[in-house]
Structure 1
Amino acid sequence: MGRGGETHRGRGSDGELGAAVARAQQGDEHAFAVAYRLVQPGLLGYLRGLVGDDAEDVASEAWLEIARDLGRFRGDGAGFRGWTATIARHRAFDHLRRQRARPRPSVIEQDVLDLPGTHSTHDQALESLSTEAALRLVAELPPDQAEAVLLRIVVGLDGPSAARVLGKRPGAVRTAVHRGLKRLARRLGVDDVTDEPPRTLGESR
């Protein structure tokens, strides 16, 4: 994963990603490699939050499906991130079903706490998400919060795109992200927490 702010840089590359996907759909293998390079880090971070050490294997399965069905995709760079995240999520759940012998990481909804607070709280939580240790902290969140945080912060999806991946309303995803970041802030010892949601997530008020 990159350092704090990776999400915003990822969104800034959506134009490049959309152009690469369009060329890849015309058979340009180099363009597909560019699309892979832009999407894979966030996708792998998301999968680590779902399947842990099996993320590389699940990502490989997902990319096989992405490559196979690329011609059916319609949309821009941001849409491609959402489409690939949906495929990866399905493959992750298939993987978990095949691994019934071990406890499945919960990905079921659970009611939780208040919204996180000030910009400093949010920025510090984002900065800590740049480490492998932070992914382990995210995995300890209530499952709906963990997956929403991974999609929004790690994959770099906007609220509506994350909601489509999860099959939820954007407001529910926004709340889950806010609550997850508040829990992370508390775990990281950030004290100045209020009820004002962070505006840097790109959500409309």
Structure 2
Amino acid sequence: MQKMEREATRRVGADESIFCAAYSEFAPGVLSYLRSRGVEDPEGLTQDVFLALFPRLGDVRGGIKGVKSLVFSIAHARYVDEHRRRLKAPPTIDYDPAQDRRCSSSAEDQLLEMEASGNVKDLLNGLQHDQQEVIALRIVADLSVETTAEIMGKTPGAIKQLQRRALCRLRKLRPLGEDPS
């Protein structure tokens, strides 16, 4: 039994040294191959190639040429898989909020516009005292719900409700699309 364990340990050690040599020798070429094929993540796919290589090292025949052939066969197969995956995936388009016609100013944005124009005090006067405080702390001062709750001596849930009610009230006071100036 000990003889089999020693043999297995020796073989794994040999596989590791072959693997390190193969990686040093072929990784730059695999990376270049994958880059030239337009792969989205050539570094990641190169790592996948060598992860797939390691368990198969014991079965390789033909010395260094056999290892090279196996490495590039795996690289090509990974490229084909990635290419097929991209063909099946729906196209992605970067989102540009400036181009989105569906967007409208939120009550927070309107309040910040009012702040910039100096009319925020007038707008806040239409709210209850607690609502004014929540808006001033959450939106104008940009504090977290937890910090605002601590300052006001309320629970985070109460702060969220106060903010929601205040923003609804602001929308009624100043309908969307109304010019702040």
Considering the TM-score relative to the shorter chain, is it more than 0.5?
Answer: no
TM-score, normalised via structure 1 length = 0.35
Structure ranking higher in helix proportion: 2
RCO greater where, 1 or 2, for CA within 8 Å and sep 6 or more? 1
